[in-house]
Amino acid sequence: MRAQEKQAIEAVSDHLANLQRAPDPHALARVIGTTLGATGCALTIAGDCYRWGHGAGPWLEHTVEYGGQPQGILAVAPESAGPVAALAAVLGAPLAEVRLAAETDRLRRDGDAAAHELVDDRWRATVEMEQERRGLERDLHDGAQHHLVALRMALALVEHAGAATEQRLDTLMSKLDTAEKVLVGTAAGILPIALATEGLAAALKAELAGHEDVMLNTAGLRHRYAPLVESTVYFACLEAVNNAHKHAPGASIAATVRDSHLGLEFVVSDDGPGFTVTALNSGLPNLSARLATVGGTVTIRSAPGRGTTITGFVPR
């Protein structure tokens, strides 16, 4: 054994004896390189390279084993600094400890990342479930409630129907059947057939045909849009009409849906009593939340004695 290699083994042994924790591979490379008089020393452990010196000249590499298993690679430069076989034997246990520590740390990081990903997935699932719940809530509110308001109005008429009570009751039963179908379909996520097959204009005509106080104008609607956009505007129009029925009973209602090169727009106005617009009702929170899902906006204009106009817009 060369004197330099023996000195390197003794230096490494002394260095390891004074350690209170796992060996520092950078420090080991420095101790080995300086003791051998090498220009460079590198320890490759678990895929990571710990290097000391600039490493001038050809490198000599030697596999470090422990327990019959490779633990890393010892490389010194120049080749004249070796042979390092005896030194590699001494490094077996320390490199095994470094490798185990590195692999343990990597497994810990992978476990932390997996845990964070699981939390993120659960959070995303919770958010998506909440969004679905809110969407269903809005659909029930805007679709089924539209029919329930019509029922309330029909009941008020029955009180004054006199001889025509039987006919009024038949109308009420028909409206109850319609409301039940809408509730069941909405809860199951089923869109109106006319909306799914023929589009927004046909669906609004079918839905509002029974309301003599509503004048619908879809002449400016010439294009089809994505299903989510059409269903959003459909339910938004129904809610706007429903609001007019509730807050401006007896008023005439005009609903217009049109498209342009900028996007899809709907306007629902009534000549009812109107109200003072405040920050709380300036966008009607439910309408605003619905249109926001497709990047749309809603505005409201009203004043006491001047009716109300609700305008929604979804950009292309």
The CATH number given to whatever domain includes residue 271 is 3.30.565.10
Indicate if the pLDDT at residue 53 is higher than 80: yes
Higher pLDDT, 126 or 59: 59
* Of 115, 130, 152, the domain-final residue: 115
pLDDT top residue among 224 and 125? 224
Q: What is the pTM of this model?
A: 0.47
103 plus 212 within the same structural domain: no
Site of tokens 């390189």: 33
Strand partners, 45: 48
Percentage of the chain beyond pLDDT 70 is 70
The answer to whether residues 96 and 70 touch, using CB atoms and an 8 Å cutoff, is no
On the question of pLDDT at 180 being above 70, the answer is no
pLDDT by residue (tens digit) across 254-311?
A: 999 999 889 999 999 999 999 988 866 666 788 888 888 888 999 999 999 999 999 9
Q: Which amino acid belongs to residue 256?
A: T
Q: What is the C-alpha to C-alpha distance for residues 242 and 84, in angstroms, rounded to an integer? A: 88
In a domain, 97, yes or no: yes
Tokens representing 164 are 């025509």
Has residue 48 been placed in a domain?
Answer: yes
Residues in contact with 19: Cβ distance below 8 Å, sequence separation at least 6, in sequence order: none
Q: Which residues pair with 314 in a beta bridge?
A: 264
Question: Residue 195: its pLDDT value, please?
Answer: 85
Whether 67 maps to a domain, the answer reads: yes
Query: Count of domains in the chain?
Result: 2
Torsion angle defined by CA atoms of residues 73, 77, 83 and 85, in that order, rounded to the nearest 10 degrees: -10
Domain end among 76, 91, 115: 115
Q: Which domain holds residue 110?
A: 3-115
Q: To which residue do tokens 């039940």 refer? A: 180
Give tens-digit pLDDT for 235-260.
Answer: 899 989 988 988 888 899 999 999 98
Per-residue pLDDT tens digits for 115-136: 777 767 766 765 565 566 566 6
pLDDT at 190 over 60: no
Query: What number of other Cβ atoms are within 10 A of residue 232's Cβ?
Result: 27
Residue-wise DSSP of 137-157: HHHIIIIIHHHHHHHHHHHHH
Q: Tokens standing for 304?
A: 């006491």
Q: Is the pLDDT of residue 188 over 60?
A: no
Which one of 74, 91, 115 terminates a domain? Answer: 115
Instruction: Tell me if 50 is assigned to some domain.
Output: yes
Tell me, rounded to whole angstroms, the distance of Cα 196 from its chain centroid: 26
204 and 297 inside one domain: yes
Give the CA distances from residue 163 to residues 134, 159, 166, in Å, rounded to whole numbers and listed in that order: 44, 11, 7
Residue 149 belongs to some domain of the structure: no
Q: Which residues contact 255 (CB under 8 A, 6 or more apart)?
A: 204, 208, 214, 215, 216, 217, 237, 240, 241, 266, 267, 268
The structure tokens listed for 292 are 């926001």
Nearest CA-CA partner of 36 in 98, 86, 73 = 86
Residue 55 in any domain: the answer is yes
Q: Which pLDDT does position 272 carry in this prediction?
A: 92
Residue 99 forms part of a structural domain: yes
Are residues 312 and 202 part of one domain?
Answer: yes
Coil/strand/helix, residue 112: helix
CA atoms of 83 and 5, how far apart (whole Å): 8
